[in-house]
Amino acid sequence: MDRLSSTPVLPRRNDDVTQLGMVWEQVKAPVIVPLLRIAVFLCLAMSVMLFVEKVYMATVILAVKLLRRRPETRYKWEPMEDDMERGSAAYPMVLVQIPMFNEKEVYQLSIGAACGLSWPSDRLIIQVLDDSTDPAIKEMVQVECRRWASKGVNIRYEIRDNRVGYKAGALKMGMKHRYVKDCDYVVIFDADFQPDPDFLCRTIPFLIHNPQIGLVQGRWRFVNADECLMTRMQEMSLDYHFAIEQEVGSSTYAFFGFNGTAGVWRIAAINEAGGWKDRTTVEDMDLAVRASLKGWKFIFLNDLGVKSELPSTFKAFRHQQHRWSCGPANLFRKMVVEISKNKKVSLWTKVYVIYSFFFIRKIVGHIVTFIFYCLVIPATVFVPEVEIPMWGLVYLPSVITMLNSVGTPRSLHLLVFWVLFENVMSLHRTKATLSGLLDLGRVNEWVVTEKLGDIMKTKLPTKAAKKPRVRIGDRLHKMELFTGAYLFFCACYDLKYGKNHYFLYLFLQSITFFIVGFGYVGTYIPQS
């Protein structure tokens, strides 16, 4: 009786599986296969565009190095010299703006570095724009400003009644003070940036001797790049951005996106461009594009490094990447027509800005990474009728990866980790990019990147004896876990039934998604 009563169960299960298989086969040929082939074609097309862009930039950089086309050889530059007759009047008036928001850990470092710039004290104004909402922090910043003022530094502590426009609003308000009218140039340093004393002496001469120059941008150097593996990955990406992307823009079209800090602007260029605007989360790039459309040229100084801090917690890094991905896409949406109709710049410059600067780097680069490597390739393990050519699967991605890594030779041994981590971050960048393009969701969300300063040096030794208090909800990241589960399932299926050995990559990528999804990435900050 037991055997007879149990026998009907297996056929039902087999029938269910058979029916699902039949439905899959009926849908696969007319619907799934064509759609997946279209997706593969589009991804391969975007990969080719990205490959051509990377090779083009590598060629330009090679030519710049071989021909030694340094900014000093392309533009007039003479060192600042004291004039016995004019005295300090030989130096132009310079305004240094330091925007802040609850920067408890780093405010002393940035203010101290700005006040230590080598420039006549009567020709320099330090302006601390404090938008802090914590009264205790505001008091500490104000005390620090008074301390430097007592040493003879012309430092101004400025606050406002609201945070309208966030950083752009603070910078715009700072330019309205009466004493700014005496200044010719303005330097911007975010709260975690520490310029060397000779920063102004190396940048201002370009602006003095070349009236067409509107911006001189320095390069970021990272004081905490070795803090954890995540900061090493960031260093690789940002070194490529500065050493390659910014250098190419500066050398070929005298245009690149202002990085929002460690740069010197000609105030006349800011005014002619329409001043600061808060319509996107990339007010720096917005200003740069508008200024370039007015005919102003930019210079990037690759050998002028300014110390700064990388976000070392995953939460801070994710917020930063959302802003950096959503903002450019949203700005592209708002300015593409204005750029195409502009008559003050050449056709090739417009093509460069629209196609290379915006479309390839800010949109295609993010979307193809996630869609192709995390969705389309894994999906093909279920549809063997759809094949991906080896050149698009291995050769092009390998060349692109190697070209991306040239900015940080010391981290070449981390290349595999960097690729896997960048694929994980492409999930957030793609989501943010689409939000910017469609003007949806958190398109105007502004979250200030958390800075730690010396907190890890002071807190870790005292907290080492305690077990970290981990709140599971704070560490779990659902999108990463869901994507990791999808990739793991694809890998298992490919291991069992596939013939292309995709599972070797899929298992590694799924593990990376799980590591990030469970919060085991970045620096852990001990709770007090």
Q: Please identify every residue annotated as catalytic.
A: 131, 284
**Dist. CA 13–CA 20, nearest whole Å:** 11
> What token pair was written down for 441?
């969701």
Beta pairing class for 263-266 and 185-188: antiparallel
The residue ranges of DSSP E strands in 448-510, in sequence order, are none
Residue found by looking up tokens 């055997």 in the block: 3
Amino acid at 524: Y
Name which of 302, 104, 283 is nearest 217 in CA terms.
302
Judged by DSSP in three states, 185 sits in strand
Residues 6+ apart with CB under 8 A from 519: 314, 474, 475, 476, 477
CA distance 49 to 103: 41
Question: Which pair of tokens denotes residue 453?
Answer: 């300063």
Helix (H, G, I), strand (E, B) or coil at 265: strand
Please name which of 240, 236, 200 lies closest in space to residue 218, comparing C-alpha atoms: 200
Do the beta carbons of residue 511 and residue 483 sit within 8 Å?
Answer: no
Strand 213-222 to strand 124-130: parallel, antiparallel, or no bridges (unpaired)? Answer: unpaired
Order the strands of the 263-266 sheet from edge to edge: 155-158, 124-130, 94-100, 185-188, 263-266, 213-222, 297-308
State the SS3 of 353-415. HHHHHHHHHHHHHHHHHHHHHHHHHHHHHHCCCCCCCHHHHHHHHHHHHHHHCCCCHHHHHHH
